[in-house]
Amino acid sequence: METLYIKVDEKNPEIDKIRIAAEIIKKGGLVAFPTETVYGLGANALDEKAAIKIFEAKKRPQDNPLIVHIQDIKELYLLVKEVPQKAYSLIEKFWPGPLTLIFEKSERVPNGTTGGLDTVAVRMPDHRVARLLIRESGVPIAAPSANLSGKPSPTNAQDVMEDMKGRIDAVIDGGDSKFGVESTVLDLTGDIPIILRPGGITKEELEEVLGRVQVEDAISGIEKPKSPGMKYRHYSPKAEIYLIVGEIPLQIKKIKELAKEFERKGFKVGILATAQTRKEYFGENVISAGDRDAPLTISSNLFSLLRKFDRMGVDVILAEGIPETGLGLAVMNRLKRASGNRIIKA
């Protein structure tokens, strides 16, 4: 299959180009498109056959459900049985934006979209291109991240093409994703709201609205997590990642030691440092992820840098841990999972 590459002006998307992509969605095809979190791989959420194509293109396990994207609140009522009271204050404050809410699903949502669950994940993206695509398609769009299953999520159209060229009908290029990590997935179906996946809306922001919020500890490899996606290997480049946590000077010392050790064994080592520590390390394969006091500068780069290390051909990536506050919680969640739990306390 030939993958159509559609470049749009992200500030002022050309409506005729969006309509070409919308036609593909209406006919049951697959279109990758930009959102403020990462690039999504979209299909008509109400068309089971179309949704199933997403799983095939990504090589995604069938039990890992898709997030359904809407552009108008009216579309929510078609997808869910009821909207709990708690959801309204969140929707008012955070939609459109990087917050996905879990609801009991309506009859209209096919099992193929929800991986057989009785619940459906819904989000309203805050990106002109995404919103226009949903509007012009006239249907809610199911879309997981537009990467091959297990790889880092794509945050630009080139990274989508690296994984999906020849596997999907089209990709809309609308520039770089702002957050660079996926949406926060919040389960409202129980008494206490639970963050199933930390993401673009922080725990602190949610607690301002909801009071106490729990975070599901999905890192430790539980058998049946509430969010099925959490049990799979994810976000991983070809290189093995080691995540080094602890006080900054100790992290630096440990990373230098490990780098020497791996190099002595003949491995090519990449170091994922931060702006504050970049100068402590020597060699060609040292990259600053961003400012450790401004985690958005790190989240927005993280996945594209993991792919860059692959292109550089490194065997091992030594990554510095950052504080798990604000967006730092999502960044550390992705790094922990990308490392497959190779976490070293310095």
> Which residues would be at the binding site for Mg ion (CB under 5 A)?
144-145
Residue 270 — φ and ψ, nearest 5°? -110, 145
For ligand AMP, the binding residue among 35, 119, 137, 333 (CB under 6 A) is 119
Which single residue brings its beta carbon nearest to ligand AMP?
229
Give the one entry of Mg ion, ligand AMP, none that residue 310 binds, where binding means its C-beta sits below a cut-off of 5 to 8 angstroms depending on kind.
none
Give the one entry of Mg ion, ligand AMP, none that residue 227 binds, where binding means its C-beta sits below a cut-off of 5 to 8 angstroms depending on kind.
ligand AMP
Are 310 and 238 within 8 A, CB to CB? Answer: yes
Give the one entry of ligand AMP, Mg ion, none that residue 196 binds, where binding means its C-beta sits below a cut-off of 5 to 8 angstroms depending on kind.
ligand AMP
Report the residue number, 235 or 242, with the smaller CB distance to ligand AMP: 235
**Segment lying near ligand AMP (by CB under 6 A), choices 222-230, 274-282, 319-327, 329-337:** 222-230
Give the one entry of ligand AMP, Mg ion, none that residue 64 binds, where binding means its C-beta sits below a cut-off of 5 to 8 angstroms depending on kind.
ligand AMP
Could you give the C-alpha distances from 23 to 20, 124, 242, 253, 346, in angstroms and in order?
Answer: 5, 21, 44, 55, 53
For ligand AMP, the binding residue among 35, 145, 156, 184 (CB under 6 A) is 145
**Segment lying near ligand AMP (by CB under 6 A), choices 10-18, 89-97, 223-231, 266-274:** 223-231
Per DSSP, 145 falls in state B
Per CB under 6 A, does 57 bind ligand AMP? no
Would you call 161 helix, strand, or coil by DSSP?
Answer: helix
Per CB under 6 A, does 159 bind ligand AMP? no
The side-by-side arrangement of strands in the sheet containing 343-345 is 286-288, 269-273, 316-320, 240-245, 343-345
CA distance 29 to 242: 39
Q: Which residues contact 212 (CB under 8 A, 6 or more apart)?
A: 192
Per CB under 6 A, does 137 bind ligand AMP? no
Report the residue number, 155 or 285, with the smaller CB distance to ligand AMP: 155
How many of the chain's residues bind ligand AMP (CB under 6 A)? 20
User: Considering Cα of 192, then 193, then 198, then 204, what sign does the dihedral take?
Assistant: negative
What is the rounded end-to-end Cα distance, in angstroms, of the chain?
49
Would you call 175 helix, strand, or coil by DSSP?
Answer: coil
What does the binding site for ligand AMP look like in residue numbers (CB under 6 A)? Answer: 64-65, 67, 102, 114, 117, 119-121, 144-145, 182, 185, 196-197, 226-230
